[in-house]
Amino acid sequence: MPQNDDVRFTTIPLNLKPLHPPPPPHHHHHLKFNPPNFLKIKFNPPNILKFNFNPCNFLKFNFNPPNFFNFPNLVPNQFVSISQSNNEAETVALSTQTTKSGGEERVLISEVWVRNKDGEELERKDLEGEALNVLKACRPSNALTSREVQEDVHRIMATGYFCSCFPVAVDTRDGIRIVFQVEPNQEFQGLVCEGANVLPTKFIEDAFRSGYGKVVNIRRLDDIISSINGWYMERGLFGMVSGIEILSGGMIRLQVSEAEVNDIAIRFVDKTGEPTVGKTRPETILRQLTTKKGQVYSMLQGKRDVDTVLTMGIMDDVSIIPQPAGDNSKVDLTMNVVERKSGGGISAGGGISSGITSGPLAGLIGSCAIYHKNLFGRNQKLNLSLERGQIDSLFRVNYTDPWIEGDDKRTSRTIMVQNSRTPGTLVHGNQPDNSSLTIGRITGGIEFSRPFRPKWSGTTGLTFQRAGARDDKGNPIIRDFFSSPLTASGNTHDDMLIAKLETVYTGSGEPGSSMFVFNMDQGIPLLPEWLVFNRVNARCRKVMNIGPASILLSLNGGHVLGNFPPHEAFAIGGTNSVRGYEEGAVGSGRSYVVGCGEISFPLIGPVEGAIFSDYGTDLGSGPTVPGDPAGARLKPGSGYGYGIGIRVDSPLGPLRLEYALNDQKTGRFHFGVGLRN
């Protein structure tokens, strides 16, 4: 059993009487008989166990439960002399044989007994049997040395049933008798636990329940200490058993020490670890932490706090260092943070628009942005972005406060203004006269988001939007080539005030994990000409891993009620819908359902292969869209596709190259960046 150097044993000395009272002096014969000095062995194991608890050393502290059997070397320093009657003394003196082996004196033993501390028989014979069964050297007719007796004392104590053991030599007419005077532990009758604030009561009760009404076994207590300390370690908590005391009446007092957080401080350092002046307000960092003062410090919780601070996007490195507080049972936490050199900057990039399917640079988009990630030292974000493509364009100003000051629910606020132009081909298709049609939107709004359960978050907001169609010269139009209306109001633009409600569930939180998203938009007619409609949309995705392969199942669906612009109809078909079709080529309707099944498997390094199948339908709702744009363009309203593809991991997300055949036996390549919606 491993030793524990942090255990201090405190013993209670006992004054033991000899088995028989010494006879009067005048009965003594002047025989020189000195029982061997190895019989002077005093052994008092601990009734009280105390552990030195230093919470700040917990990270490097390997707790080994107390080894009750690693007792100090027992060195006899005087003789035990027990006088008997004349006849017995003479007999023993004549029959005693002493030999020496290897420099150690050996004495022949005639009998071995186990008695209580008063020399009387033990009430419980099972305990006497436990002690006798473990003896190895001390057997009748054996010649023993001091070391061998000492080892047998250790063996008796190692059973765990006794709190003291004294070997005593008794002079009898048959020879020298060794009597092990033992004191059994008390029967366990109750438990008092102190200092366990986070340790569940049921856990403690279950640990001690099997020993109720039985003689306390130190080995069993050893196991219980290990299980309690293991509970703390598994949860990364700074806590351990610091003491056990066996009280009178069979009561056990268990003392548990838990290191509570006394204070948390933020320390800004540079990359070399030297202190520096930070730009971020300390309170902005502190409120990100789930670790609070007065809690028992948890390393796992501390790691999550480090990850949370890193996700703020303004730190290069974060670490937590626990240190002892003035009170030895508490810790002070210092969070060292290395800020990024600049909270702002300029970025540029590119992407692909799914709404453009023809042209020399079909779908390519360039973008640039000016941003600041830590306004006023409060982790607030300001972003001005511009995107430009063959037809697409977007100018957007976005301000985000990730955590509104004074709110205790981690509510974020986003204010947004944007002007965008997107191709109208998703619903209205390519114009037969080769003219282009774009949808222009001017949008402004505010949104509030917050987590409300583990893995669940919600968003609500209010947005105003003005949208209308324009031709390739930028002139507003109200009808397309087929004379289908392009607005719901009949004017050159539609105005709408939209209340938004969205809830999101994410499984593991990792990209590609299972998820569920439900959102609802409600048009509010504050003015008579503003549109009134209700749109609901839901997306779910389930990922299952079977060996090296991964199976993905997804299902999307939605419905619109009320008066809405035709270009807001649900478009079906394309890279993120039914592969094998162009974007929006299956149909566009008030309702839709799209399902997908996909099996992916590793090929070489970061490259994966995939087999997939998609199906989508407008549920016969195409003609109910104002102007029936799908019917005018002879879209089938439902269709399926299947094919193969490869995936390559990249910093932008998975790069997807796929080839699919549709139900009309037409093949098409698809290229996408990121996961399917």
Mean pLDDT for 154-177 is 91
Token pair belonging to 365: 């988009």
What CATH number is associated with residue 214?
A: 3.10.20.310
Is residue 596 predicted with pLDDT exceeding 90? yes
Is residue 79 predicted with pLDDT exceeding 50? no
Is 250 in the same domain as 142? no
User: Is the Cβ–Cβ distance between 397 and 418 less than 8 Å?
Assistant: yes
pLDDT at 398: 97
How many helices (H) does the chain have, and how many strands (E)? Answer: 9, 32
Cα–Cα distance between 287 and 9 in angstroms, integer? 45
Q: Determine the residue type at 107.
A: V
Q: Determine the residue type at 389.
A: G
User: Is the Cβ–Cβ distance between 500 and 460 less than 8 Å?
Assistant: yes
Is 545 in the same domain as 457? yes
CA-closest candidate to residue 242, choices 425, 578, 7: 7
Beta bridge partners of 646: 609, 657
CA-closest candidate to residue 538, choices 558, 553, 554, 521: 558
Cα–Cα distance between 426 and 363 in angstroms, integer? 13
Q: Which of 304, 339, 374 is the last residue of a domain?
A: 339
The helix (run of H) or strand (run of E) holding residue 222 is helix 218-234
Is residue 71 predicted with pLDDT exceeding 60? no
pLDDT, one tens digit per residue, over 2-41 is 433 433 333 333 333 333 333 333 333 332 333 334 344 3
Contacts of 193 (CB under 8 A, 6+ apart): 199, 204, 253, 254, 256
pLDDT at 363: 64
What CATH number is associated with residue 481?
A: 2.40.160.50
Token pair belonging to 479: 């009808």
Is 254 in the same domain as 282? no
Cα–Cα distance between 338 and 322 in angstroms, integer? 18
User: Is the Cβ–Cβ distance between 156 and 134 less than 8 Å?
Assistant: yes
Asked if residue 377 belongs to a domain, the reply is no
Is 447 in the same domain as 521? yes
Cα–Cα distance between 623 and 17 in angstroms, integer? 108
Is 559 in the same domain as 472? yes
Asked if residue 574 belongs to a domain, the reply is yes
Total domain count for the chain? 4
User: Is the Cβ–Cβ distance between 246 and 164 less than 8 Å?
Assistant: no
Is 509 in the same domain as 642? yes
Beta bridge partners of 444: 417, 464
pLDDT at 677: 67
Asked if residue 308 belongs to a domain, the reply is yes
87 conformational bin, left if phi > 0, alpha if psi -120 to 50, beta if neither: alpha
Cα–Cα distance between 498 and 524 in angstroms, integer? 6
Is 293 in the same domain as 253? no
CA-closest candidate to residue 157, choices 248, 41, 243, 247: 41
Cα–Cα distance between 356 and 361 in angstroms, integer? 9
User: Is the Cβ–Cβ distance between 597 and 613 less than 8 Å?
Assistant: yes
Cα–Cα distance between 331 and 152 in angstroms, integer? 45
Residue count of the chain: 677
User: Is the Cβ–Cβ distance between 644 and 611 less than 8 Å?
Assistant: yes
pLDDT at 366: 86
Q: What percent of the chain has pLDDT over 70?
A: 81
Across the beta sheet with 48-51, what order do the strands follow?
A: 7-10, 48-51, 239-246, 251-258, 190-194
pLDDT at 433: 67
Is 169 in the same domain as 272? no
Is residue 361 predicted with pLDDT exceeding 80? no
Confidence of residue 358 (pLDDT cuts 50, 70, 90): low
pLDDT, one tens digit per residue, over 207-255 is 999 999 999 999 999 999 999 999 999 999 999 999 999 998 999 999 9
Handedness of CA 566, 465, 526, 524 (dihedral sign): positive
CA-closest candidate to residue 352, choices 137, 543, 576, 520: 576
Kindly calculate the radius of gyration of the chain based on its CA atoms and give it in whole angstroms: 42
The helix (run of H) or strand (run of E) holding residue 380 is strand 380-389
Is residue 194 predicted with pLDDT exceeding 70? yes
Cα–Cα distance between 63 and 233 in angstroms, integer? 9
Q: Determine the residue type at 119.
A: G
User: Is the Cβ–Cβ distance between 153 and 162 less than 8 Å?
Assistant: no
pLDDT, one tens digit per residue, over 489-516 is 999 999 999 999 999 999 876 767 889 9
**What is the overall mean pLDDT for the chain?**
83
Mean pLDDT for 72-93 is 33
Under DSSP, is residue 672 helix (H, G, I), strand (E, B) or coil? strand
Asked if residue 386 belongs to a domain, the reply is no
CA-closest candidate to residue 370, choices 383, 361, 352, 380: 383
Under DSSP, is residue 403 helix (H, G, I), strand (E, B) or coil? coil
Token pair belonging to 455: 């893995």
DSSP code at position 482 = T
191 by Cβ neighbours in 10 Å (0-12 / 13-18 / 19+) ranks as middle
pTM, rounded to two decimals: 0.70
What does the CA dihedral 567, 571, 574, 576 come to, rounded to 10 degrees?
110
Asked if residue 37 belongs to a domain, the reply is yes
pLDDT at 386: 94
Is 489 in the same domain as 589? yes
Q: Which of 339, 363, 387 is the last residue of a domain?
A: 339
The three state secondary structure string of 44-81 is: CCCCEEEECCCHHHHHHCCCCCCCCCCCCCCCCCCCCC
Asked if residue 277 belongs to a domain, the reply is yes
Is residue 338 predicted with pLDDT exceeding 90? yes
User: Is the Cβ–Cβ distance between 256 and 199 less than 8 Å?
Assistant: yes
Cα–Cα distance between 449 and 461 in angstroms, integer? 9
Token pair belonging to 481: 């080539």
Measured between alpha carbons, how far apart are the two ends of the chain, in Å? 57
Q: Determine the residue type at 344.
A: G
Asked if residue 1 belongs to a domain, the reply is no
User: Is the Cβ–Cβ distance between 167 and 119 less than 8 Å?
Assistant: no
Token pair belonging to 490: 């009949």
Is 101 in the same domain as 31? yes
User: Is the Cβ–Cβ distance between 358 and 585 less than 8 Å?
Assistant: no
pLDDT at 16: 31
Is 225 in the same domain as 142? no
Q: Which of 184, 203, 236 is the last residue of a domain?
A: 184
Residue 503's domain spans which residues?
424-673
627 conformational bin, left if phi > 0, alpha if psi -120 to 50, beta if neither: left
CA-closest candidate to residue 228, choices 214, 220, 243, 239: 239
CA-closest candidate to residue 297, choices 319, 322, 318: 322
pLDDT, one tens digit per residue, over 449-481 is 999 988 999 999 999 999 999 988 889 999 988
pLDDT at 37: 40
Distances (CA, A) of 463 to 382, 525, 646: 19, 13, 39
Is 330 in the same domain as 474? no
Asked if residue 375 belongs to a domain, the reply is no
Beta strands in 427-548 (DSSP E): 437-453, 456-471, 476-477, 494-506, 515-523, 533-546
Contacts of 300 (CB under 8 A, 6+ apart): 235, 236
